[in-house]
């Protein structure tokens, strides 16, 4: 069955259509949260998928409410689902649904000792060991930290975030851009290294909008990872 799977993150609402293990990624508009035409864009996209069941993973209650108003049959992927993993976390209701979806995708993929790293507005790191969700880390996202510095410091302005050579900046903006990349990237890679060693993990999976920037042979990147987990939790 074709299913529309949506991910309402802190920055954007994204989605794709899934059918029989295949994904159609060019059928949904990527909508920034807070955009003036957010509701209209949402309505246009839903109208283009009339008849399809809708699965939602959301960390933004306002977006969840908008979709509930429009689709009475909306299925949420969250802690109330039939989770394909055990957990040592005492209160799963306090864990972001996106993180639960990421762990669910790892469990459904057959991972036994895995770290799922989701790099977006926040950077999250979640550990699955022997079929058990042990917990994770939450840190400011790489780009978010750089943006906050530009907004909060009196004489600084936000700078674009992205890969930079290992070199010092020759002016303030250049130094900020280089510092954001090198410390952001270095911090994430250090967290991955330490968690892999501490928990004897054998697999690392990257996802999220910035995950592609850190992908490598031992760190595969899948932009659909959270959606795969949402589909699994929804039983679709």
Helices 61-70 and 38-47 pack at an angle, to 10 degrees, of 40
CA–CA gap between residue 55 and residue 230 (Å, rounded): 7
CA–CA gap between residue 104 and residue 144 (Å, rounded): 26
Residue with tokens 């057959």: 110
Catalytic residues: 98
The radius of gyration computed from the CA coordinates of the chain, to the nearest angstrom, equals 19
Give the pair of three-digit tokens for residue 36.
């003036």
CA–CA gap between residue 98 and residue 224 (Å, rounded): 12
| CA distances in angstroms from 145 to 19, 20, 23, 180, listed in the order given | 37, 39, 32, 8
CA–CA gap between residue 6 and residue 206 (Å, rounded): 19
């Amino acid at each position: 069955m074709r299913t529309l799977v949506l991910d309402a993150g802190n920055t954007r609402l994204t989605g794709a259509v899934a059918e029989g293990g295949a994904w159609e990624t060019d059928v949904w508009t990527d909508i920034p949260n807070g955009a003036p035409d957010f509701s209209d864009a949402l309505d246009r996209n839903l109208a283009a998928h009339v008849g399809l069941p809708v699965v939602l993973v959301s960390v933004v209650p306002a977006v969840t409410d908008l979709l509930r108003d429009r689709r009475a049959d909306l299925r949420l992927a969250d802690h109330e689902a039939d989770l394909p993993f055990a957990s040592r976390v005492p209160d799963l209701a306090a864990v972001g649904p996106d993180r639960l979806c990421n762990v669910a995708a790892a469990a459904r993929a057959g991972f036994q000792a895995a770290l799922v790293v989701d790099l977006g507005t926040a950077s999250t790191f979640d550990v699955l060991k022997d079929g058990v969700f042990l917990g994770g880390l939450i840190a400011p996202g790489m780009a978010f930290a750089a943006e906050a510095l530009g907004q909060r410091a009196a004489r600084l302005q936000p700078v674009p975030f992205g890969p930079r050579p290992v070199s010092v900046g020759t002016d303030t903006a250049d130094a900020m851009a280089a510092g954001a990349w090198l410390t952001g990237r270095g911090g994430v890679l250090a967290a991955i290294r330490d968690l892999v060693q501490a928990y004897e993990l054998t697999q690392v999976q990257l996802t999220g909008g910035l995950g592609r920037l850190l992908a490598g042979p031992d760190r595969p990147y899948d932009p659909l990872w959270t959606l795969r987990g949402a589909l699994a939790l929804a039983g679709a």
